[in-house]
Amino acid sequence: MRTLQEVIRDAEAKGVAVGHFNIANIATLKAISEATKELNVPVIIGTSEGESKYVDVHRAVAMVRDLRENHGVECFLNADHTHSLDKIKEAVKAGYDAVLFDGGKLTIEENIKQTKEVVDHVKSINSNILVEGELGYIGSSSKILKEIPEGAAINEGDLTEAEEARQFVEETKIDFLAPAVGNIHGMFKGAPNPNLNINRIKQIKESAKVPLVLHGGSGIRDEDFESAIRAGISIIHINTEVRVAWRHGLETSLKGKPDEVSPYKLIEEALDGMTRVVYNRLKLFNRM
Ligand SMILES: [Zn+2]
């Protein structure tokens, strides 16, 4: 079994990206596992603070370990968008493979200070646990958007700068960096998300010299993903698209089977829809 570090290095060498999908229930985990097994590619499973409050960090670790050990899925668990050292400690103690400390809304000085604290703590416990830092604000909810989230960096002047990224990585010693390159969390109904700044991704990759993580992948055009991976993105987060498939499938089942009360039968359509989303995204990210 490879470590997450080895999986990401391999993705970098092959010019592909590893998919990251969030879970808040067993159905989503099952969809990720089925799509992953079919394609035989590695995957990262994430729980945000809200999701892990519901799922429970120990339960998340046990479920991902079960997929690894009993179902042949090469998967890793990430504490997505964690805002405090206490929550990071909780995830590390529970057995997560990676953590994202999200200081994207802080000033760069404060972000460096707090992210460094997180890196020092995590590495003192287990140097194999990987730490991701976030530079630039890209909104915070995986939902259907009516407008660009307030304060999100969309204009070229607000995106993460290459020099800033180099300084941030050098001073904090993070393993991965999540920059703001035109991406935002959430997706618009019936319209694609704003364009990614591919050139900026290239510049950040050259100066930061660590694997880059693209958040807010939902709603991004296929050709933008392809260019982003070529420019240096190694991990891509998808959440809203899976949530939309879950809701849509559930609505269809509830309408079509008004007398059904069995949860595992009512979830079938949602499961199929989510599996399709994950399968198609993984296929694209792995250039298959
Ligand atoms: Zn994110």
Q: Decide: 139 and 153 in contact? Cβ < 8 Å.
A: no
The mean per-residue pLDDT over the stretch 233-261 comes to: 98
d(CA 60, CA 130): 17
Write down the pLDDT at residue 20: 98
240 pLDDT more than 80: yes
Could you read off the pLDDT of 253-276 as tens digits, one per residue?
A: 999 999 999 999 999 999 999 999
Residue with tokens 């607000």: 158
Write down the pLDDT at residue 167: 98
pTM: predicted TM-score of the whole model, two decimal places: 0.96
Write down the pLDDT at residue 190: 78
Q: Which of 41-45, 182-186, 188-192 has the highest mean pLDDT?
A: 41-45
Band (172; pLDDT cuts 50, 70, 90) = very high
Q: Separation of 100 CA from ligand 1 center, angstroms?
A: 9
Q: Separation of 236 CA from ligand 1 center, angstroms?
A: 9
Positive or negative torsion for Cα 76, 105, 207, 232: positive
Write down the pLDDT at residue 94: 98
The mean per-residue pLDDT over the stretch 47-55 comes to: 97
d(CA 207, CA 284): 27
Q: Count CB atoms within 10 A of the CB of residue 282.
A: 26
Q: Separation of 38 CA from ligand 1 center, angstroms?
A: 25
Q: Separation of 142 CA from ligand 1 center, angstroms?
A: 8
The mean per-residue pLDDT over the stretch 81-89 comes to: 97
d(CA 91, CA 64): 13
Write down the pLDDT at residue 243: 97
- The residues assigned a catalytic role are 80
Nearest Cα neighbor of 253 from 233, 238, 273, 236 is 273
Q: Decide: 83 and 45 in contact? Cβ < 8 Å.
A: no
Write down the pLDDT at residue 139: 84
Q: Which two tokens stand for residue 188?
A: 């618009």
Q: Decide: 8 and 18 in contact? Cβ < 8 Å.
A: yes
| % of the chain at pLDDT higher than 90 | 89
Nearest Cα neighbor of 210 from 131, 106, 139, 269 is 131
Share the mean pLDDT of the chain. Answer: 95
d(CA 157, CA 134): 17
Band (79; pLDDT cuts 50, 70, 90) = very high
Q: Decide: 181 and 208 in contact? Cβ < 8 Å.
A: no
Q: Separation of 212 CA from ligand 1 center, angstroms?
A: 13
39 pLDDT more than 80: yes
The mean per-residue pLDDT over the stretch 150-164 comes to: 86
Could you read off the pLDDT of 128-148 as tens digits, one per residue?
A: 999 999 999 888 888 888 888
Q: Is 227 exposed, middle or buried (0-12, 13-18, 19+ CB in 10 A)?
A: middle
Residue with tokens 């050259």: 206
